[in-house]
C-alpha cells in the first residue's frame, strides 16, 4: 500500500501556479497499478482517495499506521466503485462481489480488506473515497440497478449525460460521504454544465472508460480565474469548495464523483453562468 499526501491550496496561491505546480496540487495519477493499492491522503476535508487493481494476486490493506489509527477505517467510512471487470471485496471475512459500476459502502470499523479480480485478463479496478465518520453504519453493496439515475443535459449542447447516485441519502445511508457515477451520452462531451460551486462541500472526480490517447480538458479554479488540467484515463482531480469543476473529453468517458463537507445536500450548489467564466 502506498500513501501520498496532498495539502491542497488556496485560490490566491493558485493564481501564480505554473502547470507542474497545478498538477502536483490537484491531479492524482497512477492510481491503478497491477497488484497494488495506491492512496492519496488529502488535507482537503481529509478525503482519502485511492485505487487498487488486483491482476495476478489479491490486494490487501487495512492498517491505519499511515494515518494514526489502529486501522485505516477505524474512524472512517469508505466508498468503493468498481470501474473494471468483476471482482470481490472481502471485509473481515464478509465477501461482496462487485460487477462493473457497482459500489460498495464500508462503514466505520472495517479492519482487513482483501480485493481480488474474477479474471486477471479483465481486472477489477477499485476506486475508493474515504472520509472521517461519526457513526457506525453497516456495509452495503449498491448494484448499478439500485442507484438513483438522473438524466441531465441536452444532446444539441453536447452535454447529455446520466448521473447515478449510489452513496446518497435517497439510496444508502452514510455519515458525510456522497458518491456516484456520471456517464456521458454518445456524442456528448461536456460534464457538469452549467458549472457550479458548493461552498460547503469539496469534490473529487476520477475519469475512466477513456481510450488511452484521449484526454479530458478539466476546468477548475475560481469562476473569474479558471485554470485547466489535462487528464488521462484513470486519473483523479481534487476540487476544493472554492473551485468550479467541469470538463470536456476528446472522446467517450465517464467519471466517478465523490463529495464530503458540512452536508449531504446534493442540490446545495451555486450555479455559475458561463458568461461569468474567465
Ligand atoms: O455531470 C454532472 O453534472 C455531474 O456529474 C456533476 C457532479 O455530480 C457534481 O459536480 C456534484 O456536485
Ligand atoms: Zn459539484
Between CA 243 and CA 44 the distance in angstroms is 12
* Band of residue 235 on the pLDDT scale cut at 50, 70, 90: very high
CB 203 within 8 A of CB 214: no
Please give the biggest Cα pair distance in the chain. 53
3-state DSSP assignment of residue 33 = coil
Burial bucket for residue 192 (CB in 10 Å: 0-12, 13-18, 19+): buried
Query: Atom 6, ligand 1: which residue's CA is nearest?
Result: 192
CB 193 within 8 A of CB 246: yes
pTM: 0.98
Q: Is 203 annotated as a binding residue?
A: yes
Q: Is 43 annotated as a binding residue?
A: no
Ligand 1 centroid – CA 186 distance (Å)? 18
Ligand showing the shortest atom-to-Cα distance for residue 193: 1
Asked if residue 183 has its Cβ within 6 Å of ligand 1, the reply is no
Burial bucket for residue 16 (CB in 10 Å: 0-12, 13-18, 19+): exposed
Query: Atom 4, ligand 1: which residue's CA is nearest?
Result: 192
CATH of residue 43's domain is 2.60.120.10
Q: Is 228 annotated as a binding residue?
A: no
Mean pLDDT for 232-239 is 98
Structural domain that includes position 46: 2-276
Render pLDDT for 141-187 as a digit per residue (tens, 0 to 9): 999 999 999 999 999 999 999 999 999 999 999 999 999 999 999 99
Ligand 2 centroid – CA 197 distance (Å)? 6
What percent of the chain has pLDDT above 70? 100
Mean pLDDT for 46-68 is 98
* Band of residue 7 on the pLDDT scale cut at 50, 70, 90: very high
Mean pLDDT for 221-228 is 98
3-state DSSP assignment of residue 203 = strand
Mean pLDDT for 92-103 is 98
Q: Give DSSP secondary structure letters for 104-168.
A: EEE-TT---EEEEES-TTS---EEEEEEE-SS----EEE-GGGSEEEEES-GGGT--EEEEEEEB
Query: For position 112, what pLDDT does the model report?
Result: 98
- Give ∠ CA 47-52-57 in degrees, rounded to 5: 150
Give the ligand 1 atom nearest the CA of 196.
Answer: 10
CB 260 within 8 A of CB 198: no
- Among residues 103, 85, 39, the alpha carbon closest in space to that of 66 is found at 39
* Band of residue 125 on the pLDDT scale cut at 50, 70, 90: very high
Secondary structure string (H, E, C) spanning 212-261: CCCCEEEEEEECCEEEEEEECCCCEEEECCCCEEEEEECCCCEEEEEEEE
Between CA 128 and CA 117 the distance in angstroms is 16
Give the ligand 1 atom nearest the CA of 152.
Answer: 3
Between CA 15 and CA 121 the distance in angstroms is 44
120: cell is 486477471
Query: For position 24, what pLDDT does the model report?
Result: 97
211: cell is 481510450
Give the ligand 1 atom nearest the CA of 191.
Answer: 1
Average pLDDT, the chain: 98
Mean pLDDT for 223-233 is 98
Query: For position 225, what pLDDT does the model report?
Result: 97
The total of structural domains in the chain comes to 1
22: cell is 497545478
* Band of residue 132 on the pLDDT scale cut at 50, 70, 90: very high
Asked if residue 73 has its Cβ within 6 Å of ligand 1, the reply is no
Between CA 180 and CA 259 the distance in angstroms is 9
Query: For position 103, what pLDDT does the model report?
Result: 99
* Band of residue 192 on the pLDDT scale cut at 50, 70, 90: very high
Mean pLDDT for 225-243 is 98
Query: For position 154, what pLDDT does the model report?
Result: 98
Query: Atom 8, ligand 1: which residue's CA is nearest?
Result: 257
Query: For position 214, what pLDDT does the model report?
Result: 98
Query: Atom 2, ligand 1: which residue's CA is nearest?
Result: 192
What percent of the chain has pLDDT above 90? 100
Query: For position 209, what pLDDT does the model report?
Result: 98
Render pLDDT for 111-121 as a digit per residue (tens, 0 to 9): 999 999 999 99
Asked if residue 168 has its Cβ within 6 Å of ligand 1, the reply is no
Distance of CA 216 to the CA centre of its chain: 15
Mean pLDDT for 232-246 is 98
CB 129 within 8 A of CB 104: no
* Band of residue 230 on the pLDDT scale cut at 50, 70, 90: very high
Amino acid at each position: 500500500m502506498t500513501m501520498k499526501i496532498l495539502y491542497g491550496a488556496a485560490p490566491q496561491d493558485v493564481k501564480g501556479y505554473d502547470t507542474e505546480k497545478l498538477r502536483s496540487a490537484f491531479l492524482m495519477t497512477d492510481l491503478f497499478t497491477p497488484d497494488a493499492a495506491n492512496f492519496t491522503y488529502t488535507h482537503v476535508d481529509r478525503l482519502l482517495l485511492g485505487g487498487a487493481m488486483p491482476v495476478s494476486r489479491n490486494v490487501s490493506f487495512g492498517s491505519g499506521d499511515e494515518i494514526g489509527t489502529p486501522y485505516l477505517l477505524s474512524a472512517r467510512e469508505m466508498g468503493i466503485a468498481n470501474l473494471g471487470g468483476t471482482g470481490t471485496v472481502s471485509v473481515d471475512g464478509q465477501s461482496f462481489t462487485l460487477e462493473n459500476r457497482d459500489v460498495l459502502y464500508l462503514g466505520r470499523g472495517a479492519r482487513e480488506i482483501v480485493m481480488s479480480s474474477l479474471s486477471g485478463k479483465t481486472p477489477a479496478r477499485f476506486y475508493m473515497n474515504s472520509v472521517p465518520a461519526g457513526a457506525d453504519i453497516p456495509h452495503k453493496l449498491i448494484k448499478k440497478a439500485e442507484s438513483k439515475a438522473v438524466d441531465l443535459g441536452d444532446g444539441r449542447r453536447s452535454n447529455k449525460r446520466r448521473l447515478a447516485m449510489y452513496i446518497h441519502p435517497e439510496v444508502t445511508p452514510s455519515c458525510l460521504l456522497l458518491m456516484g457515477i456520471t456517464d456521458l451520452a454518445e456524442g456528448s462531451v461536456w460534464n457538469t454544465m452549467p458549472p457550479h460551486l458548493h461552498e460547503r462541500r469539496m469534490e473529487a472526480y476520477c475519469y475512466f472508460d477513456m481510450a488511452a490517447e484521449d484526454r479530458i480538458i478539466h476546468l477548475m479554479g475560481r469562476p473569474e480565474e479558471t485554470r485547466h488540467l489535462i487528464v488521462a484515463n484513470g486519473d483523479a482531480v481534487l476540487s476544493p469548495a472554492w473551485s468550479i469543476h467541469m470538463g470536456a473529453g476528446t472522446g467517450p468517458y465517464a467519471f466517478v464523483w465523490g463529495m464530503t463537507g458540512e452536508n449531504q445536500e446534493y442540490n446545495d450548489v451555486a450555479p455559475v453562468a458561463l458568461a461569468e467564466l474567465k
